[in-house]
Amino acid sequence: MVGQGALRECLRDPRVERILSVGRRSTGQRHEKLDEILQPNVADLSPVQDRLSGYDACFFCLGVSSVGMKPDEYRRLTYDLTLSVARILAAQNPGMTFLYVSGTGTDSSQRGRSMWARVKGETENALLRLPFRAAFMFRPGYIQPLDGIAPKTWWMRVFYQATAPCYPLLRALFPKYVTTTRQLGCAMIQVAAQGFPKRVLESSDIASVRCPGSTG
Per residue in 100-130, pLDDT (tens digit) is 999 999 999 999 999 999 999 999 999 999 9
User: What fold characterizes domain 2-207?
Assistant: Rossmann fold (3.40.50)
Per residue in 174-186, pLDDT (tens digit) is 777 788 999 999 9
- Measure CA of the first residue to CA of the last residue in the chain; give whole Å: 17
Q: Smallest Cα–Cα separation from 2: which of 204, 165, 186?
A: 186
Question: Alpha-carbon distance 108 to 90, whole Å?
Answer: 22
Coil, strand or helix at 94: coil
Per residue in 7-55, pLDDT (tens digit) is 999 999 999 999 999 999 999 999 999 999 999 999 999 999 999 999 9
Cβ proximity of 119 and 107 under 8 Å: no
Provide the pLDDT for residue 182.
Answer: 94
Coil, strand or helix at 137: strand
